[in-house]
Amino acid sequence: MRTRRPGGAARRAVAAAVAMAALALTGCATSPGAAVTVNGKSVSIAHFWDNVAACADITGASSDEIWRDIGTYTVRAEVARVIMEGRGIEFSEAELASIVQDGVGNHALADPTCKAVILGAAAWEMLSFRLGADQFDAAVREIDVEINPRYGNWDPTNGRASGSGSLSSNFGPR
């Protein structure tokens, strides 16, 4: 005859609840340390905030003012990279820099970290012109993009990262 320990079901229920809470708090991102993952390649939270800080310094804006834009540019750069690699498309740095607007954009090219963000966003724009709207939109929708839930969500139809996220800590400054 099998005997049951008192409280065994209760312990299992508590363990299950703890496991579910842990999963809920980590969100759905591929890695809890990732700000965004595009086709399996993650951009860490630390790298993302380094980008924000560098571009804030160059533009004179605060991190509070530009983090959403840098989030969008970061995702766009990674999506463009995946599409370009898959189709064998390359743009020179000079081509990408040529479409950066005068003023703040040119200043941003002076900082290596912010330059990478700005040129990545420029690659998105050039790729959209090269492929044409319909083909580009279809290619973007094929790319797997996961944004850490604290940081909002990705909308491939308008190419923007938006929202404050589903957890109490939002995409805003750390």
| Distance in angstroms (rounded) separating the CA atoms of residues 171 and 119 | 22
Q: Express each pLDDT in 62-87 by its tens digit.
A: 888 888 888 899 999 999 999 999 99
pLDDT tens sequence across 106-151: 778 888 998 998 899 899 999 999 999 999 999 999 999 999 888 7
Do the Cβ atoms of 120 and 33 come closer than 8 Å? no
Structure tokens at 167: 């957890």
User: CB within 8 A of 34, min separation 6: which ones?
Assistant: 42, 43, 44, 45, 146, 148
